Amino acid sequence: MKKVVHAACPHDCPDACGVLITVQDGLATKIQGDPEHPVTRGFLCAKVAKYLDRVYSPDRVLYPMRRVGPKGPAACAAEAGEGARATQGIQKQSWQRISWDEALDEIASRFRAITAEFGSESILPYSYGGTLGALNGASMDRRFFHRLGASQLERSICSAAGEAGLKSVLGVKLGTEPEQFRDSKYIIAWASNIHGNNVHLWPFIAEARRQGAKLVVIDPYRTRTAACADWYLPINPGTDAALALGMMHVIIGENLHDADYVSKYTIGFEQLQEKVKEYPPERVAQWTGIAAEDIRRLAREYATVRPSVIRLNYGVQRSERGGMATRAITMLPCITGGWKEIGGGLQMSLSGAVDLNTEALKRPDLMQAALGREARTINMVELGRVLNKQNDPPVKALFVYNSNPASVCPDHKEVVRGLMRPDLFTVVHEQFFTDTTDYADIVLPATTFFEHKDLQKGYGHYYLQVSNQAIAPLGECRSNVEVFRALAERMGFEEECFRESVDEMIDAALESNDPWMEGISRKRLERGQVRMNFSASGTRLPASGGAHLRSAGQPGAAVPTNANSTPTMPFLPFAQGGFRTASGKAELYSESVKALGLDPVADFTPPTESRHGTKGKTLPLELLARKSDNFLNSTFTNVPSVQEMEETGLLEICADDARARGIADGDKVRVFNHRGDMVLKARVDGKVQAGVVSASLNWAKMTPGFQSINALISEKLTDMGNSATFYSVLVEVELSKPPH
Ligand SMILES: Nc1nc2c(c(=O)[nH]1)N[C@H]1C(S)=C(S)[C@@H](COP(=O)(O)OP(=O)(O)OC[C@H]3O[C@@H](n4cnc5c(=O)[nH]c(N)nc54)[C@H](O)[C@@H]3O)O[C@H]1N2
Ligand SMILES: Nc1nc2c(c(=O)[nH]1)N[C@H]1C(S)=C(S)[C@@H](COP(=O)(O)OP(=O)(O)OC[C@H]3O[C@@H](n4cnc5c(=O)[nH]c(N)nc54)[C@H](O)[C@@H]3O)O[C@H]1N2
Ligand code: SF4
Ligand SMILES: [Mo]
């Protein structure tokens, strides 16, 4: 029997694609994009187009496993007498298959014993972006750990600094919808690797360019998007706040701002006007490496070629002062009034539009009941320090799911040292034998999105979806929801919520007072994507439509995109104010930012670990430890057909910096700082400027010496949001000496 199942890609990606899975006699035979999805429109990125290879990979974890060999990847490889290839064949040497009953019993009894001796907060859950599904991302797991009284995890490794910066101005994570980029005349991709990380925005940009729009890219790395831009501005890492302040110096100084919008909908303009006087283009040029004349031109074009829109992505906020940088950039459309126009404004995260009932999903009240107070919170970025130094109480058990910290977490060597602790009981729920399973005591097999049902929101568009289950779980795989349900039962937790079905949980999540959720039911979502119900809220809709509405023949009229969707009108969240800050205005001056000890307007200080920073004299090069275009953080790195698309193990360096060190393209080089080192292959390809080098994230066990590039990254947190500082790192590079 053949059927086509509607699903949604759950990976940590703004696009949240609509997916169609063809199933023949219980076997998935084809994956394709859902052409009905108005944003992702029928195509998938190259890696997910190969998803059948991932689902049916011979390397999947299919059964619960108990460790029998020593912890660590070296042990696994040595035992197998082979190189450090992450295949199940090698891994099997360290593992013994056990039943689910044995696995659950062992986990429950260890958790009980640890709680009795050290308290329940010595148990730490560790999860992040494996799936963004509302249920398998954060529901039964949270109920379980709340009821257990485990430590809470501050999940700030990715975007917290930027979210705090954005919200300090807007009060909410909303912005320009991707569909409107086709109506823009001036598009700035600011720290935004669109072809790599957000590919479904590209067709809208291409459409705008066919109608004469200009694309500007601001990025220290010459991405594929930068290579095809009309204007590429390489910027020194971590200096974006200076550029935004410099642009506002020009815009305000030349009276190019929208005085009417500013007076109606913002507060703090006078203070901003004073502040930007400190940032004339000549001064900003010294930090950013962008010529003063270019800064002037950028500011003038941005303010006058309209509509203009900024696609701001998370690259700027992985920097020590990333919150402030995001804050300063977010002010730009607030002073130009760009928010009023279809195709104007700014997009970073749009996730604030979907107000799921997270209390019902996560049940934080269970923690109160268990402990009589909030459990302590541990920042996921600081895992290395926490495992090695935290003592009040020490972490004695770690439960990892939806994450691969032994690859993705800063200060990799400290993380590994912690994971090697013989007294640490580690459970990893995974689809594959990753870097982190190398340190697990118990590995549990996890389903992929083909094998379970979930509710899927996106952060790069305004559509909600249900991802239906397409095939039965492989082997003995279980979803996150089912694992924590089973564990709750083993622990004797009797609350009704641990027995809720998946459909009941979806229904509970959708039960929300938010008018934008009106009329959005599970039944509708099961058939396909549904746009947030903006028309239910009294949000101002424009009197005359954008180009796409005109081409549909009815200016300003409702245009249904597909039978299952709410009619779509361009959504302009801030056309008439509507900011969700304390003042209700866009806050160019913010008391809450001041309360953090930061400049209440905005300012620029170079990151300490940068060439202009206080540690700038210690090492000469700034490292961008980037993501790969064809992987998703550390996911997909082990799938052979995906590996073929991505060259790994490179250290990209400019010709001058290479020559000064006697390095030629293809040489083996050592990149190092006081935290760690890694041997990579030099690539002199013009992607980075002098003073900057780049290397990308991969599984540690795929590289010689089992190192992740995160061995060079510090645990230092950002100015806002306690995020990681992956892009504020100083290093040196030298020719690698042969071992003998
Ligand atoms: N193919 C692919 N897609 C992905 C991911 C992936 O790993 N691979 N990861 C997913 C995840 S988890 C996320 S959070 C999103 C992230 O997607 P993005 O927000 O795009 O994040 P990054 O790739 O970290 O950074 C974007 C760009 O910022 C640049 N950059 C670095 N430092 C600076 C700086 O100081 N200033 C400026 N102007 N630019 C800077 C980088 O070179 C990069 O090209 O993408 C998601 N999508
Ligand atoms: N150097 C450097 N480091 C980085 C970054 C960078 O740009 N550079 N990016 C950072 C960012 S933005 C992020 S978001 C983090 C991402 O860090 P993580 O969230 O840890 O992301 P992944 O590496 O994708 O690992 C997710 C794991 O979850 C597993 N998984 C997928 N679905 C499920 C499921 O349903 N159940 C279970 N149990 N497991 C599942 C996958 O197999 C995968 O191994 O990495 C950060 N680390
Ligand atoms: S990873 Fe992103 S672009 Fe690729 S299929 Fe998933 S949502 Fe779409
Ligand atoms: Mo991320």
3-state secondary structure 476-517: CCECHHHHHHHHHHHCCCCCHHHHCCHHHHHHHHHCCCCHHH
Beta bridge partner(s), residue 519: none
In ligand 1, which atom is closest to the CA atom of 629?
A: 1
pLDDT of res. 540: 45
Nearest Cα residue to 428 out of 721, 61, 42, 704: 61
* Whether the predicted pLDDT of 92 surpasses 80: no
Predicted local confidence at residue 93, as pLDDT = 67
Residue 44 near ligand 3, beta carbon < 6 Å: yes
What pLDDT, on the 0 to 100 scale, is given for residue 184?
Answer: 98
Q: What is the pLDDT of residues 163-191, one digit of tens each?
A: 999 999 999 999 999 999 999 999 999 99
What tens digit of pLDDT does each residue of 377-405 get?
999 999 999 999 999 999 999 999 999 99
pLDDT of residue 89: 44
Beta bridge partners of 677: 672
Cβ–Cβ contacts within 10 Å for residue 546, how many? 21
Q: Is the CB of 316 under 6 A from ligand 1?
A: yes
Domain range annotation of the chain: 2-55, 176-347+576-595, 621-735
Instruction: Assign 406 to helix, strand or coil.
Output: helix
Distance CA 669, CA 675 (A): 17
The two structure tokens encoding residue 57 = 């990979």
Confidence band of 470 (pLDDT split at 50, 70, 90) = very high
Query: Does ligand 3 lie within 6 Å of residue 50's CB atom?
Result: no
Contact status, residue 571 vs residue 535, Cβ threshold 8 Å: no
SS3 394: coil
Q: How far is CA 525 from CA 132, 274, 400, 481, 668, in A?
A: 16, 50, 30, 20, 52
**288 Cβ below 6 A of ligand 2:** no
Cβ atoms 217, 209 nearer than 8 A: no
Work out the pLDDT band at 537, boundaries 50, 70, 90: low
Amino acid (one-letter) located at 185: K
Q: What is the pLDDT of residue 82?
A: 42
N-to-C CA span, the chain: 62
The mean pLDDT value for 491-502 works out to 98
Nearest CA to ligand 1 atom 10: 13
pLDDT tier at 657 (50, 70, 90 boundaries)?
very high
State the average pLDDT for the chain: 93
Q: Distance (Å, rounded) from C-alpha 281 to C-alpha 33?
A: 45
Structural contact between residues 439 and 416, judged by C-beta atoms closer than 8 angstroms: yes
10 Å CB burial of residue 118 (0-12, 13-18, 19+) is middle
Rg (CA), the chain: 25
Each residue's pLDDT tens digit, 121-173: 999 999 999 999 999 999 999 999 999 999 999 999 999 999 999 999 999 99
pLDDT of residue 502: 98
What is the share, in percent, of the chain residues with pLDDT greater than 90? 91
Which residue has a Cα nearest atom 42 of ligand 1?
221
Per-residue pLDDT at 623: 98
Q: What is the C-alpha to C-alpha distance for residues 719 and 322, in angstroms, rounded to an integer?
A: 7
Q: How far is Cα 117 from Cα 605, in angstroms, rounded to an integer?
A: 46
Q: Can you tell me the distance from the alpha carbon of 709 to that of 696, in angstroms, rounded to the nearest whole number?
A: 7
Q: Which residues pair with 577 in a beta bridge?
A: none
- Spatial distance between the Cα atoms of 32 and 19, rounded to a whole number of angstroms: 6
575 alpha carbon, distance to own chain's centre:
28
688-717 tens-digit pLDDT: 999 999 999 999 999 888 999 999 999 999
CB-based contacts of 675, cutoff 8 Å, min separation 6: 411, 413, 711, 712, 713, 714
Q: pLDDT band for 87, please (50, 70, 90 cuts).
A: very low
- Which pLDDT value is given to residue 161? 98
Instruction: Give residue 442's pLDDT.
Output: 98
Closest CA to 243 of 274, 220, 221: 220
Q: In this predicted model, what pLDDT tens digit does every residue of 205-227 receive, in sequence order?
A: 999 999 999 999 999 999 999 99
Distance between CA 411 and CA 713 in Å, rounded? 5
| Angstrom distance (rounded) from CA 474 to CA 403 | 20
Cis preceding-peptide flag for 203 (omega within 30 of 0): no
pLDDT at 738: 73
Size of the chain, expressed as the number of residues it contains: 740
Nearest residue to 603 via CA among 305, 352, 245: 245
Average pLDDT value for residue range 467-483: 98
Which numbered atom of ligand 1 lies nearest the CA of 314?
Answer: 19
The structure's pTM equals 0.95
CA distance 15 to 629: 14
Residue 86: CB atoms within 10 A of its CB come to: 23
**Residue position matching structure tokens 């379970």:** 452
- Ligand 3 proximity of 733 Cβ (cutoff 6 Å): no
Nearest residue by C-alpha to atom 46 in ligand 2: 408
Angstrom distance (rounded) from CA 243 to CA 250 = 11
Residue 672 clears pLDDT 80, i.e. is over it:
yes
pLDDT in tens, 349-364: 999 999 999 999 999 9
**pLDDT (mean) for 257-268:** 98
Return the number of other C-beta atoms located less than 10 Å from residue 674's C-beta. 11
CA 688 to CA 707: how far, in whole Å?
23
Is 73 a residue whose pLDDT tops 60? yes
159 token code pair: 């975007």
C-alpha–C-alpha distance, residues 530 and 461, integer Å:
11
Q: Does domain 176-347+576-595 have CATH number 3.40.228.10?
A: yes
Whether 709 lines ligand 2, by a CB cut-off of 6 Å, is: yes
User: Which top CATH class is 2-55?
Assistant: mainly beta
Q: Do 350 and 462 touch, CB atoms closer than 8 A?
A: yes
**Alpha carbon distances (Å) from 625 to 225, 363, 374, 408:** 18, 36, 35, 11
DSSP state of 32: E
Ligand 1 atom closest to Cα of 129? 12
- Candidates 497, 530, 168, 155; CA nearest to 359 is 497
Residue 54 Cα to ligand 2 middle (Å): 15
d(CA 145, CA 143): 6
Report how far ligand 4's centroid is from the alpha carbon of 408 (Å).
10
**Alpha carbons within 13 A on the beta-carbon side of 612:** 17
CA distance 614 to 729: 12
CB 658 within 8 A of CB 629: no
Other C-beta atoms closer than 10 Å to the C-beta of 554 total 11
C-alpha–C-alpha distance, residues 25 and 311, integer Å: 43
Q: Which of 634, 712, 731 to mutate to test the pocket of ligand 2 (most atoms within 8 A of CB)?
A: 634
Asked which of 161-165, 567-571, 661-665 is least confident by mean pLDDT, the reply is 567-571
Q: Tell how far the Cα of 456 is from the centroid of ligand 3, in angstroms.
A: 13
Residue 511 burial (CB < 10 Å; 0-12/13-18/19+)?
exposed
* Tens-digit pLDDT profile for residues 28-63: 999 999 999 999 999 999 999 999 999 999 999 999
Level-2 CATH architecture, domain 621-735: Beta Barrel (2.40)
Per the CB < 8 A criterion, the answer to whether 66 and 106 are in contact is yes
- Tokens standing for 595? 């309360």
